[in-house]
């Protein structure tokens, strides 16, 4: 995942939090107008997420670096384990450090290196594509340059596209 993708995910999360807080504000207004006469125990029994002290739903906190990266602000269960931007960044730095990689590698460049090494070590293209969450065609078109290094049959390129990828001496 490159920095641009991460920024888009964070932007999407911020928009989701904003929408969720708008829904919460509308619901709290409804509680104040439609359910004002309802006792607190009855209100809390009817709406499980209402705080008995305030008689309101709590707003979702604003985005922070320690917040879960793939957080769904509309989810009902609060015990789902996900990882924050900071957690993923820390793990990534730890992996780079433990690997002895001093250069500023991106997650995407490491992904590309993984794919290249997998193909050079004889892993089937379909298997590489599944492992990396992409299509077999995408792997074939992006890594066709490996034809110079290996026999195309060993890489597992589609027979129908074989001539297209062959490198002529």
Q: Rounded to a whole number, what is the largest CA-CA distance in the chain?
A: 86
For residues 167 and 109, what is the distance between their CA atoms, to the nearest angstrom? 25
Q: So where are the chain's domains? A: 3-63, 102-165
For residues 115 and 110, what is the distance between their CA atoms, to the nearest angstrom? 9
Quote the pTM value. 0.42
The pLDDT profile of the chain, 169 residues, written as one tens digit per residue, is 556 777 787 888 888 889 989 999 999 999 999 998 999 999 988 888 899 999 998 888 888 777 666 655 555 555 555 566 677 777 778 877 877 776 777 777 777 888 888 888 888 888 888 888 788 888 888 887 765 555 555 555 544 444 444 444 4
What is the DSSP annotation of 26-74?
A: HHHHHHHHHSTTS-HHHHHHHSTTSBTTTTBPPPPPPP-TTSBTT--TT
Characterise 71 by phi-psi region: left (phi > 0), alpha (psi -120 to 50), beta (else): beta
């Amino acid at each position: 995942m490159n920095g641009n993708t991460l920024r888009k995910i964070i932007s999407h999360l911020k928009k989701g939090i904003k929408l969720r807080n708008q829904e919460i504000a509308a619901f709290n207004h409804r509680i104040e107008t439609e359910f004002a006469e309802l006792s607190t125990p009855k209100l809390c029994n009817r709406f499980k997420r209402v705080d008995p002290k305030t008689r309101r739903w709590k707003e979702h906190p604003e985005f922070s670096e320690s917040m879960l990266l793939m957080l769904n602000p509309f989810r009902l269960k609060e015990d789902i384990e996900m990882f924050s931007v900071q957690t993923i960044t820390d793990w990534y730095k730890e992996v780079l450090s433990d690997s002895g990689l001093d250069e500023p590698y991106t997650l995407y460049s490491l992904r590309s290196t993984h794919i290249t090494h997998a193909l050079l070590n004889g892993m089937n293209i379909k298997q590489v594509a599944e492992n990396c969450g992409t299509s077999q065609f995408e792997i074939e078109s992006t890594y066709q340059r490996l034809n110079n290094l290996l026999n195309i049959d060993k890489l597992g390129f589609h027979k129908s596209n074989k001539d297209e990828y062959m490198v002529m001496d």
